[in-house]
Structure 1
Amino acid sequence: MQDDLTDATRWAIDAGLADPDRICIYGASYGAYASLMGAAKEPDLYRCAAGYVGVYDLPMLHSAGGIRRNRSRETYLREWLGEKNQISAVSPTNLADRIKVPVFLAAGGEDERAPIQHSELMERRLKAAGVPVETLYYKTEGHGFYTEAHQREYYTRLLDFFSRHIGGAKAK
């Protein structure tokens, strides 16, 4: 699926539908993972990347968040995600040094599906790699921002981030 995103982006550029100097990759939840993986796998294709309530460290799923804890949890994770020691190589947190574009991360402190620890670790790894990173964390939000004031700040900052990196009007 990750390659499909790359292929679609390249198709849009080749078809003259997209300006290669004005493409950012953005997603939420799994899409946030795909956004940061896209920036890591294709460091010259995008001008920025943004992830909202994302999962960035796959081994962390074996110990926190994402799937309700029950007897079949570990079997499910091994069969559908992979063994904990094998999935590190496809975790954006471990590929931060390959990301060459500014990143915006947003997460909620009460998120049980994609715990904020994913975003905090991604932020630390990006900073250690010298990648410009901006964050917006709300301790009282979960897997998405539902407070109107938080939504307004999030989308204003996200649009401002895009405006600075690929152009366009700033949010008001």
Structure 2
Amino acid sequence: MTSERLGQALVEEATKKSGLIWVRGAGAPAARALWHVWHEGAACVVGDGPGEQPLPGLTDGGTAEVTVRSKDKGGRLVSWTARVVELPSGSEQWEAAVGELKGKRLNAPDGEAMPARWARECRVVRLEPTGATAPLPDGSLAEAPLPTPVTTREPIPAGLPRLLFRKKRGRS
């Protein structure tokens, strides 16, 4: 019971403090970085409209895997499973989530008209934690770069330091 509460607290605090979360929806090929806001126990995101972030694989009633990084070091803190809930445009929950989201949206092209555009053209989605957290992986999960002939490293030419560091003579 205590470990479950600690897991929930870690998910909430880490997600609140992180500017981006990495989300992989069901059927999506890879995780995608999304800006969000933590509101009433869930991460809320807006997207799938012109000029907004895409939300691939986030379908109402589905699940998603959310990975939260450390804001200062950038390392992975926690991965958790979320239930995806799409908020109906104009509902009380939608209005509350949009009120929080509009304060976090940077460089919006339409300013105060943004919520109306979101109602017409976008989706607002809540990612509600299910309580399941995934163990951190042993390795870095980084992929090796593809081999290419243009990345070979050769020694610098012998005369280059003389060209770069020679003293310039003043004109007389």
Q: TM-score range with shorter-chain normalisation?
A: under 0.3
Could you state the TM-score of these two structures normalised by the residue count of structure 1? 0.25
Structure with higher strand content = 2
Could you state the TM-score of these two structures normalised by the residue count of structure 2? 0.25
Structure with higher helix content = 1
